[in-house]
Structure 1
């Protein structure tokens, strides 16, 4: 489901990009202001709606890596020769490629240390050598402050929303039981659980060492524990396939009202009488329905106390894959740098910078990224050309243009890469103009972007055509292994072990589906057909659902055998 219009992010983009330039215009230190604007530009590009701690980590990685790269590039440029600059770019690209596939924070840091090196080695800057890196870091810190300051008055809002989304998805899955949409609804609940685990990751790490002192954090962890158990019950009901009364489908929302109260619903959900009446005696013969009713009756800390929330880390590409990507990235950057030298001389930074932006397979399909980059550049060039013709490039008009394009970029980061590229293109034109480079580069930027995209596509699809397919196959194998472990170990596992095995299996399947979709989005030779990973993943999900239903039934049967008065 797409998020709504990110108004707060758009406002952050306006302030973060316009404020440094206004201060530079006021104080006369425009060079430092431009580099602060570059830092703000990169910060807005990595701003997100993730929890505030994760935002801070990501943005600090952007600022520190970008400033370090800028310093490295400046030192290489001081040599006055192209060979040290080329060697510096290649070495930085290898380093960036080696760390980029090792997780989201390292990926962002790797890309921005490379971008900083490209800008530092391609833009001669007057003044002290230390000024541009500090200015760039200050621009990123401005975005960090703007993005994380709402923590002061809405500390747990993002975490609460992510956990509440699991209960909403569970209600949707229960409503879809017995219909053709049941499996898709169950997958939505799985994705919501995955997201909640990711959002709550810092709190989960703390909870493994000691019980959190903050009552709100404890409440969220208890709600997530119960949501994990709820996911098991819903999966079993989806497998059974018998339509449920509407009252039963509403039970997750009543649970959320009790566990995650808001100003409007703090007193909601205290009674489950309507749901109990809706669940007839025939319905309550289902172990899953009985388990659901029991969860609702005991929706408190004890109801999920036996659930272990930690999950095994996601598998990362192997060392060979990372090394191959690093070498190809370095080769692409070197080819782009040489091409820029031949076409434009020593100030041609746009080509290698575009390569660094496009060749990010962990950010999505490379072909789609390349196409969106070209489309966004063409639109951005046309837009900034029209603005320049209308305003005459006066400083105030340029700063106003940056503010508008900053908001556009912030929206594009969340909705469409081509839109984000349109905003970035217009901002870079203005920043370069404020540095004193007034050359008409409209057509040049379009051609450079197309050339950079061609370099990346050749490397990705001619030199390494099976990169996405190999990763999808590896992810699918990892998912099948997790499913087999769940199938074989669940019957004799403790409740905590069973929940961990089940969540790991469903999470691996979701990761495999994402990798398969990315592989199918990339072009492949006509003679080479990709496996039907989706069919394999669907079959594995059905195995998981069956194991879940069987285990829940066996648990209910064992509980009945040991109940007081049982034979």
Structure 2
């Protein structure tokens, strides 16, 4: 059976949806029953932001991200609250400007820093825009309590499924390899090989520090790590078979699933056919003459035989695998400084508009700027559009609920439902996540005592904040995404050339490290080019940029085919594959000029 044309649909994350519902409903129920509504609502805000960062990655990374996010948000909330309490008219504006500058300065330093910077600014906007009675230290602690609840709900499954996430990520590689082999010789082969690269990258990130730990070989983590090592070698063989361009029989395409079942019992597919008729490793004259037993198939057969022997023997630490994926700097210092300055300007303009339009409690405008102006999270226009659409849907949804009833318990039930919707949207679509977040925020603000009917005002505020961001971004930094795409492409082509020029006497570890680096860089570059396509440039420069991006996409595709050919050479398919050229960008394409 051949691979499908599109990527497989991601299943609905029911566990995350349940966590989102519980995390948002529990603090509010406790607050209603105890009478401590204000701290409960602040805890609900912390839980809301925690749900937005509750990802499917390993538990250690989840806890680290949620902890950094919670600490940054609490610090921002405290700063904004103190600025509001001091009573000076300019204190809030100065605090927002300083926080935006700091948040922008750290946000382009990596994913964790980006999340922390955004929530530092969000905490400041809420703290400076919503007056909260009681001691100054109470709101930050309540916020941290809400985040802690999400941490507990998200990390507790670690107690009984400690390495299930790592196991699932590695098994996904074997499934993707089987799909790529099924697509060999068809027009979908190249897309299937890219999906294999993506799953390998995901598994590599998930395994992380486990690749350098020295566990006892018979532990569950040791088995997963050995299966990952075999998956990296399988990626090379699969790329070679895809490059050969011939359709493969079922007994060959099922081999990755059989390997997964051998190396990770209960982790692979149980419905695959036995591999008794898999061709044995062929040697001697005429071995290459068989129409089925190509060099790539022989390499796959050898790898499968090794996995069978390895699964039946005492496990040991295999070698020959890249330990870590290389870290690529997100942006240079000039880009970080420029983004920090632009974010600060947007926040200050939004705050000025909020004061003129709403007076006190005009937090929605700067808060929306903090959410929308995240160029490292995807194209800014698309994010702004999804934010506006999600706000409209969220306002309509919560408006319908409040028209039907104003009962507190029913509204808390609605918060739980919208929290679950938001948790699903975080993994599937930003507009869906915004819909849930908008509805929840309206209920939380109402429970804080702000009963104003601001449905239409919030829609206009969101549109105004998105317009502020788009004008500032495209008037003052129109080529940011195109420049990053050019830099990523140049780095990817250099990695492909290093893999091509691999010395004949290189060790397996060196070969796999160069191969994984090359494919990883190429996948990053492809995403960067796609991102740049979603960012319109300044009028007058569009033509040059539009010419560069197709050049970069073609160069990346050419380099991917080169890497496939080198993989084929490494498993014995074609000795002349290393001599194939890879298309280079022109000077304008490579440097973004």
Same fold (TM over 0.5): yes
Counterpart of 2:190 in structure 1 is 183
In the alignment, what sits opposite 2:589?
Answer: none
Match of 2:391 in 1: 377
Structure 1 residues 213, 78: closer, same or farther in 2, change over 3 A? farther
Unaligned runs of 5+ in 2: 1-7, 577-593
Q: Which residue of 1 aligns with 2:249?
A: 245
1:423 match: 436
Supply the distance in 1 between the matched residues of 2:492 and 2:446 (Cα, whole angstroms).
51
- Mark the CA change 1:384 to 1:489 in structure 2 (over 3 Å): closer, same or farther: same
Query: Helix, strand or coil: the match of 1:502?
Result: helix
CA offset at residue 303 of structure 1? 9.5
Equivalent residue, structure 2, for 1:33: 40
- 2:571 is paired with a residue of what secondary structure? helix
Write the distance in 2 (CA, Å) between the matches of 1:331 and 1:214: 57
Cα distance change, pair 214–19 in 1 and its aligned pair in 2 (3 A): farther
Q: 2:326: which partner in 1?
A: 312
Q: Secondary structure at the match of 1:331?
A: helix
1:547 and 2:566 aligned = yes
Contact 2:48 2:419 in 1 (8 A): yes
Match of 2:19 in 1: 12
How many angstroms does 1:551 deviate by? 2.7
Q: Which residue of 2 is the match for residue 286 of structure 1? A: 294
How far apart, CA to CA, are the structure 1 residues paired with 2:217 and 2:329? Answer: 32
**Shift, 1:264, TM fit:** 8.7
Which residue of 1 is the match for residue 128 of structure 2?
121
- Is residue 2:385 matched to residue 1:366? no
Task: Using the TM superposition, give the Cα deviation of residue 103 of structure 1 relative to its aligned residue in structure 2, in angstroms.
Answer: 1.5
1:179: Cα distance to partner? 1.4
User: In 1, Cα distance between the equivalents of 2:442 and 2:401?
Assistant: 11
> Is contact 2:17-2:420 (8 Å) kept?
yes
Mapped to 1, the partners of 2:132 and 2:482 lie a distance apart of 44
Once the two structures are superposed, residues 470-491 of structure 1 have per-residue CA deviations (whole angstroms, 9 ceiling, x without a partner) of 1111111110111111111253
2:251 maps to 1:235? no
Indicate conservation of the 8 Å contact 1:248/1:278, yes or no.
no
Q: Is the 8 A contact 2:104 2:343 kept in 1?
A: yes
Q: CA 1:457 to 1:267, structure 2 compared with 1: closer, same or farther past 3 Å?
A: closer
TM-score, with structure 2 as normaliser: 0.89
SS in 2 for 1:489: coil
* Residues 291, 302 of structure 1: alpha-carbon distance in 2 compared, 3 angstrom cutoff: farther
Match for residue 370 of structure 2?
A: 356
Contact preservation (8 Å) 1:222, 1:305: no
Establish whether residue 338 from structure 1 lines up as the match of residue 356 from structure 2: no
Relative distance call for 1:490 and 1:212 in structure 2 (3 A) is farther
Verify: 1:489 aligned to 2:502, yes or no.
Answer: yes
Query: In the aligned structure 2, how far is the partner of 1:499 from the partner of 1:549?
Result: 13
Matches of 1:347 and 1:471, distance apart in 2: 38
Of 225, 229, 233, 1:221 maps to 225
Please state if 1:537 is matched with 2:566: no
Equivalent residues, number: 552
Structure 1 residue corresponding to 2:176, chosen from 169, 173, 177: 169
1:347 aligns with 2:361: yes
Structure 1 residue 211, shift from structure 2 partner? 4.2
Partner residue, 2:580: none
| Residue of structure 2 equivalent to 1:561 | none
**Is 2:410 the counterpart of 1:397?**
yes
CA distance in 2, matches of 1:214, 1:126: 57
2:261·2:267 contact (CA, 8 Å) conserved in 1? no
Select the residue among 162, 180, 183 that pairs with 1:155.
162
Q: CA deviation at 1:160?
A: 0.7
Please report how far the alpha carbon of residue 311 of structure 1 lies from its aligned counterpart in structure 2 after TM superposition: 2.3
Q: Which stretch has the larger CA shift, 132-141 or 72-81? A: 72-81
Match of 2:520 in 1: 507
**How far apart are residue 214 of structure 1 and its match?**
7.0
State TM-score, norm by structure 1: 0.93
Task: Encode CA deviations 1:167-187: one digit per residue, 9 max, x unaligned.
Answer: 111111111111111111111
- 2:305 pairs with one of 288, 291, 297: 297
Partner SS for 2:362:
coil
- Structure 1 residues 283 and 259: CA distance shift in structure 2, 3 A: farther
Residue aligning to 1:563: none
Q: 1:258 to 1:28 in 2, by over 3 A?
A: same
- 1:177-207 Cα deviation digits (max 9, x unpaired): 1111111111111111000001111312x42
1:263 positional shift: 7.9
Once the two structures are TM-superposed, the CA of residue 71 in structure 1 deviates from its matched residue by 0.6
- Going from structure 1 to structure 2, the CA distance change for 1:169 and 1:434 (only over 3 Å counts) comes to same
CA distance in 2 between partners of 1:170 and 1:218 (Å): 22
- Distance of 1:315 and 1:212 partners within structure 2: 34
Q: Is the 1:245–1:278 contact (alpha carbons within 8 Å) kept by the matching residues of 2?
A: no
Q: Which residue of 1 aligns with 2:115?
A: 108
Which residues of structure 1 form unaligned runs of 5+? 558-567
User: Which contiguous aligned blocks of 4+ residues in structure 1 show a shift greater than 6 angstroms?
Assistant: 263-269, 277-281, 554-557
